[in-house]
């Protein structure tokens, strides 16, 4: 187990190195740079000649490795960024008050985590029992109705369903408020009902179908037929034998939710104007906040790699038949 984990960690570091190079090159190729654009505008409004502005800007950008957009210059800037990243310095977010990127992520990711965590709990409470019920009553009325509704939910784009809910429940009916988190605990909960409902509807279908498929596989296993032949009640067969084995692949799948928990739901947060890390990163990307864009995407990459490693480990923990390679 220990050798396997060490091997996977080393492989993860190699993957992150490759991902970081691709991300940095792509982000440096963006047509806008928030700091450069704002600096030029501010200095031009102060009546500074353009040639002086360009000279000053070049010297400032050189400090951050952003002055040369040639291939060699981008590689030089990457290794400058990488050296700081390895020491825990993700750079400066010019858009959000010239603050360290890690501070910006640390402040706003917990808002996204709270919303995503509650939505995930609701998805599990609804989708897992519903998936098992549909599998036990395969091709019954509940199975058909739940399958159709889940497919409809999966088919809706998040921006469409979010705007639809705002139109119906906030604008037309006036039941809910949108925009921000409100003031006070209960006001915040009231503001979050619509976005969390959208997130649950969008994600519940996949989890329900996954649970149903796994449950059907377990129901057709030989040991389930043996349990029934011994005279066990259907309830014991389903909830003691089937449910326990259905949870094995579900536990591993839930390990992959780590990036979505901390990384935020970018589109949903933007639609409902929620100040989570998803919305913050979205505006940073749009306006060319280079270090924030780089830090946020590397944050997601690290969470994804950790999620994959946890999935492998959890698969061996919940299923003693699985032995991790040495």
Domains of the chain: 2-97 (no CATH), 103-318 (1.10.3720.10)
| pLDDT exceeds 70 at position 260 | yes
Closest CA relative to residue 77, chosen from 3, 42, 27? 27
pLDDT at 21: 95
| pLDDT of res. 280 | 93
Q: Tell me if 4 sits within 8 A of 326, measured CB to CB.
A: yes
Q: What mean pLDDT value characterizes the chain?
A: 87
Reported as a pLDDT band with limits 50, 70 and 90, residue 281 is very high
% of the chain residues with pLDDT over 90: 31
d(CA 160, CA 154): 12
Among residues of the chain, what percentage have pLDDT more than 70? 95
Q: Is the pLDDT of residue 266 over 90?
A: no
Task: Specify the pLDDT at position 165.
Answer: 92
pLDDT tens, residue by residue, 33-48: 898 889 888 888 888 8
Exposure b/e, 258-290, CB count within 10 A at least 16 = b: bbbbbbbbbbbbbbbebebbbbbbbebbebbbb
If one counts every other C-beta atom within 10 angstroms of the C-beta of residue 131, the result is 26
Closest residue by Cα to residue 293 from 66, 137, 7: 66
Written as one string, the DSSP assignment of 48-66 is --HHHHHHHHHHHHHHHT-
Q: What mean pLDDT comes out for the span 175-195?
A: 84
Tokens of 132: 């098992």
Widest pairwise Cα distance in the chain? 90
Q: Identify whether the C-beta of residue 194 lies closer than 8 Å to the C-beta of residue 178.
A: yes
- The larger pLDDT score, comparing residue 61 to residue 314, is at 61
Q: Could you tell me which residues come within 8 angstroms of residue 226 by beta carbon, excluding any fewer than 6 positions away?
A: none
For 205, which DSSP code? Answer: H
> Which two structure tokens, joined as six digits, stand for 245?
């084995």
pLDDT at 217 (0 to 100):
87
pLDDT band for position 78 (50/70/90)? Answer: very high
Average pLDDT over residues 21-38: 91
120-134, 219-233, 262-276, 309-323: range with lowest mean pLDDT: 309-323
Predicted pLDDT at 325: 57
Q: How many CB atoms lie within 10 A of CB 324?
A: 16
d(CA 54, CA 38): 13
Q: What local confidence, expressed as pLDDT, does residue 102 receive? A: 93
State the average pLDDT over residues 8-35: 91
Residues in the chain: 326
> Sign of the CA dihedral 214, 217, 219, 223?
negative
């Amino acid at each position: 187990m220990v050798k396997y984990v060490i091997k996977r960690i080393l492989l993860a570091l190699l993957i992150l190195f490759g991902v970081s190079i691709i991300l940095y090159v792509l982000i440096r190729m963006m047509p806008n740079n928030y700091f450069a654009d704002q600096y030029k505008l501010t200095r031009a409004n102060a009546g500074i000649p353009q040639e002086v502005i360009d000279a000053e800007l070049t010297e400032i950008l050189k400090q951050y490795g952003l002055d040369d957009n040639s291939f060699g210059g981008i590689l030089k800037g990457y290794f400058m960024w990488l050296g700081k990243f390895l020491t825990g310095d993700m750079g400066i977010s010019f858009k959000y008050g010239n603050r360290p990127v890690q501070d910006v992520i640390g402040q706003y990711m917990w808002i996204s985590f709270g919303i995503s965590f509650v939505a995930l709990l609701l998805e599990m409470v609804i989708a897992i029992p519903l998936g098992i019920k549909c599998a036990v009553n395969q091709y019954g009325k509940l199975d058909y109705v739940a399958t159709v509704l889940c497919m409809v939910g999966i088919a809706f784009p998040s921006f469409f369903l979010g705007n639809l809910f705002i139109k119906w429940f906030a604008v037309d009916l006036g039941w809910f408020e949108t925009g921000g988190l409100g003031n006070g605990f209960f006001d915040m909960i009231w503001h979050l009902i619509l976005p969390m409902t959208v997130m649950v509807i969008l994600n519940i279908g996949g989890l329900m179908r996954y649970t149903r498929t796994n449950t059907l596989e377990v129901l057709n296993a030989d040991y389930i037929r043996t349990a029934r032949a011994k005279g066990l009640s259907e309830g014991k067969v389903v909830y003691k034998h089937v449910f326990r084995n259905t949870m094995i692949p579900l536990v591993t799948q839930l390990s992959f939710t780590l990036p979505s928990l901390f990384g935020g739901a970018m589109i949903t947060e933007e639609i409902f104007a929620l100040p989570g890390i998803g919305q913050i990163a979205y505006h940073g990307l749009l306006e060319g906040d280079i270090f924030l864009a780089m830090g946020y995407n590397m944050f997601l990459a690290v969470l994804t790699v950790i999620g994959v490693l946890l999935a492998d480990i959890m698969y061996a923990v919940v299923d003693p038949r699985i032995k991790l390679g040495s």
